[in-house]
Structure 1
Amino acid sequence: MGVAIRTAGEGDRELVVRLLDQAFQDDPVSGWVFPGAEYRRSTHHRLMAAFTGIVLDDGRIDVTEDGSACALWLSVPAEAHDADDDGPAQLRAAVDLGNERVELIGRLTARIHPVGRAHEYLWMIGVAPERQGEGLGSALVQHVLDRCDREDLPAYLEASSARSRVLYERFGFELAGRPLELPDGPLMWPMWREPRG
């Protein structure tokens, strides 16, 4: 059974934010950024909205035709980027000014992001909780990896749970250095995939 996939547009913004918010409510990293279930329920969606806006402006969001899953991708050029720019501080100001972890997660992941080689960056992938385990996320990932293989482009991501790390390994991603240890929090695994000929 094939999964129909299309590129999301501005009219899909609320759908994508809702999918990401629902999919990441129980994620270890989201739990670290927004500790406490009630706080997370009331605030987490603002971070997902900011991420969605960034990728709608500068990247690509793929969504299943039935609106049950989405993947946020950025094309990263080979030129080095500045890991100490004002983006994380601006994100914190827009999302939750009193929460320093919103800014910290951006700075920490920027520091471990590989530079020097163009690649596709899987920022996030979200599947509606009631549809998880049906292969929708896998279809979204494979959709872009097929293009990466055709265009000889590597891909990169940070896995936010041990479960997702195992999933990405099945697609050929390998650990790219040591895991990122969030202060008093969970691990994130930087993962790199070379294109397959």
Structure 2
Amino acid sequence: MGVGMRRAQEADRDFVVELLDEAFMDDPVSGWVFPGEEHRRARHAGLMGVFTDVTFAEGFIDLAEDGSAVALWLDVPDEPHGPEGGEGADGDEEDVPAQVRAAVDPDNERVEQIARLTDAIHPVGRAHVYLWMIGVRPDRQGEGLGTALMAPVLERCDREGLPAYLEASNARSRALYERLGFVFTGTALDLPDGPSLWPMWREPQAG
């Protein structure tokens, strides 16, 4: 590719949020979560900020050095304790989707709904690497940046015997992931009155 990749740091936070905001502004799922272009442009970056902060806290972010692409990854243990839920200081289970909705767009139930729906289909019981989001600037799509950004993590998966998981949000990305060894799990997530997400699983590959 000729484009270097590096691990993002906390100082990159605002840049990562801006890149995700641009990359996903016209994504079908973003359009479902935030119907109406004006509303989406007002609220979308806030949700990308939450995703970025959670990933810095619980996972890692890889960034193209020229600022063209970014990937958010989480290492999920055998018994995941992921971004959708957690325990507070008093030991009570936190309702993270509801908290995100309250912080980002309190009157928009879809902000909460998308988190609950994707959590419900997430595989459990086996450690894996989760590609939560991968975004490429619209004017740089089709250059192979997504593949280049994913390659080091997938190589690590193969070395360590780790599966990988993601949800494809459109047919084009699904085709890309299939070329990288991901397989559709067989049951799509059809958002109510909206687009579909395709859960995809990749077994570690030898040689």
**Greater mean alpha carbon deviation, residues 139-148 or residues 83-92:** 83-92
Q: Secondary structure at the match of 1:63?
A: strand
Structure 2 residue runs without a partner (length 5+): 86-93
- Equivalent position of 1:98 in the other structure: 107
**Greater mean alpha carbon deviation, residues 127-136 or residues 109-118:** 127-136
The Cα shift of 1:135 comes to 1.1
- TM-score scaled by structure 2? 0.91
Q: Which amino acid aligns with 1:90?
A: Q
- Equivalent position of 2:88 in the other structure: none
Q: Secondary structure at the match of 2:79?
A: coil
- Equivalent position of 1:77 in the other structure: 77
Q: Does structure 1 retain, via aligned residues, the 8 Å contact 2:79–2:126? A: yes
- Equivalent position of 2:200 in the other structure: 191
Q: Secondary structure at the match of 1:39?
A: helix
Taking the aligned partners of 2:23 and 2:80, their CA distance within structure 1 comes to: 31
- TM-score scaled by structure 1? 0.96
RMSD across aligned positions (CA): 1.4
Taking the aligned partners of 1:49 and 1:140, their CA distance within structure 2 comes to: 20
Q: Secondary structure at the match of 2:13?
A: helix
Structure 1 residue runs without a partner (length 5+): none
- Equivalent position of 1:156 in the other structure: 165
Deviations, residues 80-118 of structure 1 (Å, cap 9, x unaligned): 558775111111111111100000000000000000000
In the TM superposition, structure 1's runs of 4+ consecutive aligned residues that sit over 2 Å from their partners are 80-85
Deviations, residues 115-166 of structure 1 (Å, cap 9, x unaligned): 0000000000111111111111110111210111111100000011111111
Taking the aligned partners of 1:142 and 1:132, their CA distance within structure 2 comes to: 17
Q: Secondary structure at the match of 2:134?
A: strand
Taking the aligned partners of 2:152 and 2:48, their CA distance within structure 1 comes to: 22
- Equivalent position of 1:53 in the other structure: 53
Q: Which amino acid aligns with 1:6?
A: R
Q: Which amino acid aligns with 1:62?
A: D
